[in-house]
């Protein structure tokens, strides 16, 4: 089993009023990465459907210089109707994300949760929201309902 000390949250950087299904993501990543599959370990569609898109034992392709020791999660969206960065998570995505993070924290209790934009050298808005809410949630310093 590989050592995982980081959980990186991403958005697909697609508009909230246009679908970007797991099949569309797969086609995009296969074109980008030479048919090596989806670079994220998990993908959450707008309806909250969670897909495991890469086995956790495999190194991801989602955060250069961090892939060897991280798990990558991506949610569909991250841009508003005009194409600007925005927190577009649906209630279903929020519920799926918190359930997934709970499970991952059981398996990797020391793993830090960061948004892609929080990684050194990253200059983008991804995941279009502040992941501090999840760090607070798992550290016990917030009310248990706020990160859902």
Which residues are paired to 79 by β-bridges?
15, 85
Is 69 labeled as catalytic in the residue annotation? no
What separation in angstroms does the CA of 58 have from each of 27, 32, 49, 53, 130?
19, 18, 22, 11, 27
User: Can you give the pLDDT at residue 145?
Assistant: 39
pLDDT of the residue at 111:
96
Identified catalytic residue from 11, 40, 42, 137: 40
- Identify whether 41 is a catalytic site residue: no
Catalytic residue among 11, 16, 74, 126: 126
Structure confidence at residue 141 (pLDDT): 52
> Known catalytic residue: 126?
yes
pLDDT, residue 71, reads 98
What's the pLDDT at 117?
97
**Grouped pLDDT means (10 residues each) for the chain, 148 residues:** 93 96 95 91 98 96 95 98 97 98 96 97 95 91 43
- 62 has catalytic annotation: no
**Residue 11 known to be catalytic:** no
| Domain 6-139, CATH homologous superfamily name and number | Peptidoglycan recognition protein-like (3.40.80.10)
């Amino acid at each position: 089993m590989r050592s995982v000390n980081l959980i990186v949250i991403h958005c697909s950087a697609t508009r909230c009023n246009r679908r970007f299904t797991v099949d569309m993501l797969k086609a995009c990543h296969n074109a980008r990465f030479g048919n090596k599959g989806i670079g994220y370990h998990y993908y959450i569609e707008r309806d909250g459907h969670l897909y495991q898109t890469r086995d956790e034992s495999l190194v991801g392709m989602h955060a250069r210089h961090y892939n060897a020791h991280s798990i990558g999660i991506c949610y569909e969206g991250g841009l508003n109707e005009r194409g600007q960065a925005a927190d577009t998570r649906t209630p279903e995505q929020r519920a799926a994300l918190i359930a997934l993070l709970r499970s991952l924290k059981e398996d990797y209790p020391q793993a830090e949760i960061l948004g892609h934009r929080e990684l050194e050298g990253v200059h983008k808005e991804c995941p279009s929201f502040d992941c501090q809410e999840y760090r607070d949630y798992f550290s016990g310093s917030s009310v248990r309902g706020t990160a859902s």
